């Protein structure tokens, strides 16, 4: 007979509860606050170890703000972010530094996320030095070169500058930087939207390989439902700062309940010949 301990579901690695992030609207000569823009308006979800949750929605719906609020890159207005049993917003000092090591982000635009004045060895090596992982130059170079090779780049890339690489190569460097501190959770903020279609598949496959090898958990943010279908275990659909639908990937794809989700799915192009897909038009309005 199973005990209570064996029947209890495992605790999620990340739990977000009623997260709100509001920005002030200022107007007038004195720039007084006259209102608030609710970029994130009561979002809740969880992510298990080794799982990918896809956060999908149109541009401006609040997806990126959610990801950055989780990492404390943007301050929350209210709500809870619990990572591995600890309240992220209650941490400070050494505990906060340790948490930042375990939670990383891959930014959307690889060109603007890499310092153009720094060589790649310094870009990847900086977090290793800050967190005291590498103490001498030979150890640092060895670690950086291994990261580059694991992400499909040559060792010689360590001595070059970001502008010397293509968009896909720069994104591989961005992924290597996110991996440098051996995190357990990564926010992937539209990591392929700035890349050519031919390069997108390579980056997505690299992310899946890294997840398998290192047991990573992803919050995968995208406006592209086809990419979300390929990458994610579960899908959360976001509209105007709220999650309007969430569930297992196949349930959302095959049995979407909200008309906004149906509209996103109907916009995914198909290569199969046959009758033209019927578009679902979502007019907006109340969530």
Cα dihedral 151, 155, 158, 162 sign: negative
**What mean pLDDT is predicted for residues 226-233?**
91
Separation CA 240–CA 287 (nearest Å): 8
Check residue 208 and give its pLDDT: 95
Distances (CA, A) of 215 to 18, 70, 114: 27, 20, 26
For 17-40, write each residue's pLDDT tens digit.
Answer: 999 999 999 998 888 989 999 999
For 164-193, write each residue's pLDDT tens digit.
Answer: 999 999 999 999 999 999 999 999 999 988
Cα R_g (the chain), whole angstroms: 20
First to last CA, the chain: 45
| pLDDT bracket for residue 5 (50, 70, 90) | very low
For 87-141, write each residue's pLDDT tens digit.
Answer: 999 999 999 999 999 999 999 888 888 999 999 999 999 999 999 888 889 999 9
For 234-280, write each residue's pLDDT tens digit.
Answer: 999 999 999 999 999 999 999 988 898 988 888 777 666 666 666 67
Check residue 275 and give its pLDDT: 61
pTM for this predicted structure: 0.89
Separation CA 42–CA 87 (nearest Å): 17
Q: Phi/psi of residue 56, each to 5°? A: -125, 145
């Amino acid at each position: 007979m199973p005990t209570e301990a064996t029947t209890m579901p495992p605790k999620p690695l990340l739990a977000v509860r009623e997260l709100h992030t509001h920005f002030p609207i200022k107007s007038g000569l004195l720039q007084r606050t006259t209102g608030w823009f609710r970029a994130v308006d009561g979002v809740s979800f969880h992510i298990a170890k080794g799982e990918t949750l896809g956060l999908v929605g149109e541009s401006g719906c609040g997806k990126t703000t959610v990801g950055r609020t989780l990492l404390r890159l943007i301050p929350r207005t209210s709500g809870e972010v619990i990572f591995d049993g600890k309240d992220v917003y209650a941490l400070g000092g050494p505990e906060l530094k340790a948490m930042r090591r375990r939670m990383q982000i891959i930014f959307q635009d690889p060109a603007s996320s890499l310092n153009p004045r720094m060589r790649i060895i310094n870009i990847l090596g900086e977090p290793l030095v800050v967190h005291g992982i590498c103490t001498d130059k030979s150890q640092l170079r060895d670690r950086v070169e291994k990261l580059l090779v694991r992400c499909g780049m040559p060792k010689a890339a360590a001595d070059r500058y970001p502008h010397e690489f293509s968009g896909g190569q720069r994104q591989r460097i961005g992924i290597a930087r996110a991996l440098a501190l051996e995190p357990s959770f990564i926010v992937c903020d539209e990591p392929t939207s700035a890349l050519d279609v031919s390069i997108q598949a390579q980056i997505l496959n690299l992310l899946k390989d890294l997840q398998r090898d290192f047991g990573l958990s992803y919050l995968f943010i995208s406006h592209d439902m086809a990419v979300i279908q390929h990458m994610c275990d579960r899908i959360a659909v976001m509209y105007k700062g709220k999650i309007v639908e969430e569930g297992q990937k196949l349930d959302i794809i095959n049995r979407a309940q909200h008309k906004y989700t149906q509209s996103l799915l109907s916009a995914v192009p198909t290569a199969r010949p046959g009758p033209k897909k019927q578009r679902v038009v979502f007019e907006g309005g109340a969530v």
